[in-house]
């Protein structure tokens, strides 16, 4: 893992942040931005089985999200060392998540919106996505965002691809809950997200289901 390329300070890093800025205020009513994609039990894809994905961007050009319930063996302390930062003793013990199969060498930080950094783009009034190293420096120095989720890699869909998967009942969808996103234990997020829409995934047959 090359720490120099995990987090980049440019405005264009792992995603088209200029495009995100242009579409933040113009997302259509059908956009799933700030929603959870909850994998149906019938979705046996090795990467997305039992996954909860937070959708950061969704428009006619496709979608981008971060899987939020697959912690890696890396901790935030490990990641800081990879990017050549010396972790402070007071650093919180946080996992680093496997955000998706696309660009797994790049880092993403979902966080609360008290502050922004060079590579920050707002998703909602309260949630921001940052892809620049300076947010890690701030977290390490004790003046970072209050709520944080760090991931390597992301999930991506081309034009119409996510819509097709939804039509095939691969995913349930619901408006995201920050409590699940930031605070709920990883192992509980899949069932907790489905409970937001009154669904017990343990009762759904792995052979069928409706989003």
Residue 20 confidence (pLDDT) above 60: no
Structure token digits, residue 33: 């931005």
Give the mean pLDDT of 156-168: 96
Condensed to tens digits (0 to 9), the pLDDT of residues 25-36 reads: 334 458 999 999
Residue 148 pairs with which residues in a beta bridge? 111
Residue 158 CA to residue 64 CA, distance in Å, equals: 9
Q: Where are the domains of the chain?
A: 3-203
Structure token digits, residue 168: 């095939």
CB atoms within 10 A of CB 161: 12
Residue 98 pairs with which residues in a beta bridge? 152
Fold (topology level) of 3-203: VC0467-like (3.40.1740)
Condensed to tens digits (0 to 9), the pLDDT of residues 46-62 reads: 889 999 999 999 999 99
Structure token digits, residue 138: 């701030």
3-class state of residue 73 by DSSP: strand
User: What pLDDT does residue 45 have?
Assistant: 76
Q: pTM of the predicted model, to two decimals?
A: 0.86
Of 36, 30, 29, nearest in space to 50 by CA: 36
Structure token digits, residue 139: 């977290």
Maximum pairwise Cα distance, the chain: 49
Residue appearing with tokens 């792992």: 14
Residue 108 CA to residue 73 CA, distance in Å, equals: 17
Condensed to tens digits (0 to 9), the pLDDT of residues 86-128 reads: 999 999 899 999 999 999 999 999 999 999 999 999 999 999 9
Condensed to tens digits (0 to 9), the pLDDT of residues 141-160 reads: 999 999 999 999 999 999 99
Residue 115 CA to residue 109 CA, distance in Å, equals: 13
Residue 197 CA to residue 187 CA, distance in Å, equals: 18
């Amino acid at each position: 893992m090359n720490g120099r390329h995990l987090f980049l300070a440019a405005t264009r890093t792992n995603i088209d942040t200029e495009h995100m800025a242009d579409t933040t205020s113009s997302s259509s009513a059908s956009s799933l931005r700030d929603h959870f994609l909850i994998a149906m039990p019938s979705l046996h894809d090795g990467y997305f089985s039992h996954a909860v994905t937070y959708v950061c961007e969704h428009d006619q050009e496709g979608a981008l999200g971060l899987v939020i319930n697959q912690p890696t063996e890396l901790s935030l302390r490990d990641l800081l060392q990879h990017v050549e930062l010396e972790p402070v003793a007071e650093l919180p013990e946080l996992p680093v998540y496997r955000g998706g199969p696309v660009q797994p060498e790049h880092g993403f930080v979902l966080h609360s919106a008290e502050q922004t950094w060079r590579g920050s783009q707002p998703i909602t009034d309260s949630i921001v996505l940052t892809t620049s190293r300076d947010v890690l420096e701030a977290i390490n120095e004790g003046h970072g965002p209050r709520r944080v989720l760090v991931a390597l890699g992301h999930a991506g869909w081309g034009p119409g691809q996510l819509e097709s998967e939804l039509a095939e009942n691969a995913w349930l969808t619901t408006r995201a809950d920050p409590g699940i996103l930031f605070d709920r234990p990883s192992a509980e997020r899949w069932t907790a997200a489905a409970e937001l829409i009154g669904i017990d995934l343990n009762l759904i047959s792995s052979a069928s289901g409706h989003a």
